Structure 1
Amino acid sequence: MKSKPRHILFFFTYLWLFSCKESSLSSNDSLLALIPLLGASANASVCPKSSTLPSDIFLANTVVSASANVSGFSDPKKAINGVCGAGELAGSLDVYALETTGAGATMVLSWGGRTVKNVPDSIDLIIYDNSFRISGDTNTYAMDPSVIQVSRDGSIYCGFNPSYTAGNINLLTSWTKFGGLRPVFYNMTTNPLSNEDLFISTGIPFLLGGGDGFDLDDLDPNDPNDVNCDTTAANDIKTNGFKFVKITSASNVINPATSTNFPWPPGSYNGSDIDGVVARELQ
């Protein structure tokens, strides 16, 4: 599924394949092995329990624009009401789903007028979606690639020049500088972490709280999909920070390597599923 229908499809297909394939495991062992999957699925629906957000988490808290209308996932407040990750094997259902193309494929969030700083030698923001692993290969995920751009004034947007390597569309290594790739471990209800914790690298291509991190120093004014961005605008953001973040389903963005839109993982009836965005520091 991605959103709900795809998560359910992948989840129960995973269970069916696991239970049907030949194995030396006893039935008790098989049941024990499935418990983490069941727990992860359950965790997807228990968050948030409170309307009060953690005060130390610098969440984007304002929906600037959002026009998607995906049945069951059309409330844009789900993108600012806290991060509700369900771990490696399941995705949160507390999300706002973008569409695959058109105006509904994009949303813009802000921090209510505050500015996200560029912290030296650090990731500056994290995008949380609801990707999850779909095979024994830790590099294979049901993902929602999204193109991320930031702006100081809401009109000039600079991005990170993402790239896709043709091949297995579900391989994490096929996608570079996209949001919506990695699972989310942070859950404000069942796995609370501090803002500082969220930006800790685990030594592999994952952050402690999961999600996809972006460093403002990596902004590329040569990204062909940027809006009015040039070296001056990119350097202004690097020096002074940004106020707006734009998230767009990759399927609605031109891949400069092919002059066609980026591909979209099969089995999904909607675009990216936004669980939240967190900044490292605000001013």
Structure 2
Amino acid sequence: MQLLTKLKLSSYLFLLILVSFSHCKKSSSSGEDLAALLPLLNLASGLNFCPKSPLPSEILIATTVVSASANVSGFSDSNKAVNGICGSGELVGSLDVYALDITGPGATMVLSWGGKTVKNVSGDDFIVYDNSFRISDDTNTYAMDPSVIQVSIDGTNFCGFNPSYSGASVNLMDSWTRFGGLRPVYYNMTTKPFSNEDLFVNTGGSFLLGGGDGFDLNNLDENDPNDINCNTTLANDIKATGFKFLKITSAANVDNPNTPGSRFPWPPGSYNGSDIDGVVARKLQ
């Protein structure tokens, strides 16, 4: 109940529905039931006004879906991953997302900036936006969609950030290091706009002003065991020249090097993988 009183929604009934369904992977209902509720939810919450059209020109969002094959009912429109950022804050997940599968070919998607290059600058170079939200008064406990992030110059050979899971708990943010899909999204192009540079302002620890998970190309790790086509030369080339393609994979579809023979865990009760709201670069060329 304390969580409910903090959410600024128009009615108690709608609040119960939204908390139950806003994080699309955490549902005991069928995908068809959820899909039927989406128009009502969007209309009542005002999310139908986000994203803006046309997109703000200064926001350097990934604009092109290179590949995507998931088909999660109600969240199968891959354009949702490139049509703008529609975060709902600390306590509610956005519905304007494209949902990946938990495992299999549909657990991965590749985005690009339409041929442009994301440059390596000081600090975080890009931000991945999902729809995580806090589920406890403990500020470290979230409903999360851990995703493995990799980047590439040619769209074939990818390097990543050697993500690590401590094994403490799938809902403790501190358990996950160098993953996407961990932090809430505060940025909303309609209701809470920021400049592109504002989005990269660090507000303490690893949290950013607009939320999401930031990645610094200087942290690429050629020793990541899941990057079979990455090596020191390629990682250094990406650091020096930037990248054109970004791959996002549900963590449950990636081998966990700390537990040979098994993959990263996935939050129980989830019927789909990572939910992608968008990716923003700091500088393009």
Paired residues for 1:1-283 under 5 Å: 15=1, 18=2, 34-36=5-7, 38=9, 43=45, 45-120=47-122, 122-259=123-260, 260-283=262-285
CA shift in 2, pair 1:49/1:279, >3 Å: closer
For residues 94 and 85 of structure 2, the distance between their equivalents in structure 1, rounded to whole angstroms, comes to: 9
Aligned mates of 2:108, 2:121 — CA distance in 1: 26
Give the superposition deviation at 1:50: 3.4
Aligned residues, how many?
A: 253
Q: Secondary structure, in 3 states, of the residue corresponding to 2:197?
A: helix
Give 1:167 deviation, angstroms: 1.7
With over 3 angstroms needed to count, the CA separation of the structure-2 counterparts of 1:56 and 1:37, relative to structure 1, is: same
Residue 35 (structure 1) shift: 4.8
1:12 alignment partner in structure 2: none
- Alignment check: 8 A CA contact 2:82 2:278 kept: yes
Structure 1: how far apart are the matches of 2:92 and 2:72? 20
Aligned-CA RMSD value? 1.6
**C-alpha displacement at 1:267, in angstroms?**
1.7
| Ranges in structure 1 where 5+ consecutive residues have no aligned partner | 1-14, 20-32
The alignment-based identity, stated in percent, is 70
Shift of the alpha carbon at 1:266?
Answer: 1.1
Following superposition, the deviation at residue 219 of structure 1 comes to 0.1
Structure 1 length as normaliser, TM-score? Answer: 0.86
Letter of the structure 2 residue corresponding to residue 74 of structure 1: S
The one-letter amino acid paired with 2:141 is: T
Residues 58 and 195, structure 1, Cα contact 8 Å, conserved in 2: yes
Q: Which moved more, 1:42-51 or 1:220-229?
A: 42-51
Q: 1:110 Cα deviation (Å)?
A: 0.0
Distance 1:62 1:96 in 2: 13
Deviations along 1:85-113, one digit per CA (max 9) or x if unpaired, are: 00000000000000000000000000000
Distance in 2, Cα, partners of 1:129 & 1:47: 19
- Residues 101/276 of structure 1: CA separation in 2 closer, same or farther (3 Å cut): same
Amino acid in the other structure paired with 1:36: L
Q: Following the alignment from structure 1 to structure 2, what is the Cα–Cα distance between the partners of residues 116 and 167?
A: 34
Q: TM-score, normalised by structure 2?
A: 0.86
**2:87 corresponds to which letter in structure 1?**
G
Q: CA 1:205/1:128 → structure 2, altered by over 3 Å: closer, same or farther? A: same
Residue pair 2:65, 2:82 contacting (<8 A) in 1 also: yes
Could you tell me how far 1:44 is from its partner in structure 2? 7.3
Could you tell me how far apart the structure 2 residues matched to 1:105 and 1:177 are?
Answer: 18
Q: Report deviation, 1:49.
A: 5.0
Tell me, in whole angstroms, the C-alpha distance in 2 between the residues paired with 1:106 and 1:147: 9
Residues 72 and 115 (structure 1), Cα distance of their counterparts in 2 relative to 1, 3 Å cut: same
SS of residue paired to 1:170 = coil
